[in-house]
Amino acid sequence: MANAARSVSAKPATPRKPQTPAAQPKPTGKPRMSRKATAAAIDPEVRRGYIEVAAYYIAERRGFTGGTELEDWIQAEEEVDRMLGG
C-alpha cells in the first residue's frame, strides 16, 4: 500500500469576504416624482403645445368641419392631462 500514505501540502486558508446581496442603487437624495406631480410640474406652454397638436388631430379626424373648435380643445385637454397623469 504505497499509495495510501500521500502527503498533501496544505495552503493556509485565506479569509474570504462575506458575500453580499446584489448591489442596490444608492439613493440620490432626490424625491421620486409621481405621475401626478409630473403633470403638475410640466411647463404650461409645453402643455398648451401638446393640447394644440391633439386638438388639430381631433379636428382632422372629423374632417375639419367648423363649429366644434371648443369641443375639440376640451377633448384635447382631457386626453393630454390623462396622458400626463393629471
Question: What are the tens digits of pLDDT across the range 49-82?
Answer: 999 999 999 999 999 988 899 999 999 999 999 9
Confidence band for 22, pLDDT divided at 50, 70 and 90: low
Q: Is residue 50 part of a domain?
A: yes
Residue 7 zone, left/alpha/beta (φ > 0; ψ -120 to 50; rest): beta
Percent of the chain topping pLDDT 70: 52
Return the pLDDT at 15. 65
Query: Domain total for the chain?
Result: 1
User: Quick check: 9 pLDDT over 70?
Assistant: no
* Predicted confidence (pLDDT) at residue 42 exceeds the cutoff of 80: yes
Residue 80 inside a domain? The answer is yes
pTM of the entire structure? Answer: 0.54
Residue-range definition of the domain harbouring residue 42: 35-84
Contacts 24+ apart (CB under 8 A), 39-45: 39/81, 39/84, 39/85, 39/86, 40/86, 42/84
Higher-pLDDT residue of 1, 77: 77
Please, are residues 50 and 80 in contact by the beta-carbon 8 Å criterion? yes
Write down the pLDDT at residue 49: 97
